Amino acid sequence: MTYNFIYEPNYQRLMPTIFIDNRASITEIKNKTGFVIKAWIDEQLTLINDSSITYKIESELGVLCGFFTIQVNDESKTAVLLLKQLRPAFKDIQISVDLSLQIANFIHNNLWHPDFLF
């Protein structure tokens, strides 16, 4: 299956949605109160800065699969994966491996360049 990576400037809404959907498998917020979950999510959002790009992952049918964020080095014009979170329906090992490979290729082939202003 192929997946689409869509630049998401409104990551402040996307990321909490996926974290909350997936909270049962995140050890830091599993079975915690809403206050703890919100504090943890806010902490994750602080990792995003001006050198970060967040992408929404959608299946070829338009189903929201998750997101990933890359951190860009302005000097070397390279990027590394900062965060990745998949929705529970896409946690299957084969899907997860396929997505990881496609994300690695996306980063390695510099397909993120048009979304970042150097």
CB of 68 within 8 A of CB of 84?
yes
pLDDT digits (tens, 9 = 90+) for 63-76: 999 999 999 999 99
Would you list the domain boundaries of the chain? 3-115
- For 3-115, CATH gives 3.40.630.30
pLDDT of residue 56: 98
Report, as an integer, the average pLDDT of 89-98: 92
- The residue with tokens 């109160």 is 33
First CA to last CA distance, the chain: 32
CA dist., res. 45 & res. 94, Å (int): 28
pLDDT digits (tens, 9 = 90+) for 74-92: 999 999 999 999 999 998 9
pTM of the model: 0.93
Task: Give yes or no for residue 14 having a pLDDT over 90.
Answer: yes
